[in-house]
């Protein structure tokens, strides 16, 4: 695989709905793309982190990701990711913000990389 086919990433809208789930991410997490696509991001967020995640997610959209980018200038951070078998894996997420012509956020693209154990 090369290019987009080999990249483990998800695209989410402002509601936190998964718009696209790559095949590479399906292989990495065990969540099939046809199940993840259309679901909330809760698919890959461990239960104990969901409340904190949604507070931050909503806040980021409210200020067009200004505070998020101040806190994470390169858009990356390490998080546990819930896998299809119920286990969690530590991964590095790199967030990119898709913007419209008026510089307003319209989608979030998150790429995933497994951290060395």
Domain enclosing residue 22, as ranges? 3-114
Question: What's the token pair of residue 62?
Answer: 């409210």
* Contact residues for 34 (Cβ-Cβ < 8 A; gap 6+): none
CATH code of the domain in which 8 resides: 3.30.450.20
pLDDT, residue 32, reads 94
Whether the full predicted model's pTM is greater than 0.75, yes or no, is yes
37: nearest Cα among 57, 58, 15, 17: 17
What would the mean pLDDT of 52-65 be, rounded to a whole number? 96
Q: How confident is the model over 13-37, as pLDDT tens digits?
A: 999 999 999 999 999 999 999 999 9
Q: How far apart are the first and last CA of the chain?
A: 24
Indicate the DSSP class of residue 45. Answer: S
Give the rounded percent of residues in the chain with a pLDDT score beyond 90. Answer: 91
- Mean pLDDT value of segment 53-71: 95
Quote the number of domains for the chain.
Answer: 1
């Amino acid at each position: 695989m090369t290019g987009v086919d080999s990249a483990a990433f998800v695209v989410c809208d402002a509601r936190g709905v998964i718009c696209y789930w790559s095949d590479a991410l399906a292989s990495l997490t065990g969540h099939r793309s046809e199940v993840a696509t259309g679901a909330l991001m809760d698919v890959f967020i461990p239960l104990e982190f969901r409340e904190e995640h949604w507070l931050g997610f909503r806040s980021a959209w409210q200020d067009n990701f200004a505070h998020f980018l101040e806190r994470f200038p390169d858009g990356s951070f390490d998080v546990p990711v819930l896998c299809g078998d119920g286990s969690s894996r530590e991964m590095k997420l790199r967030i990119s913000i898709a913007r419209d012509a008026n510089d307003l956020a319209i989608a979030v693209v998150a790429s995933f990389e497994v951290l060395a154990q």
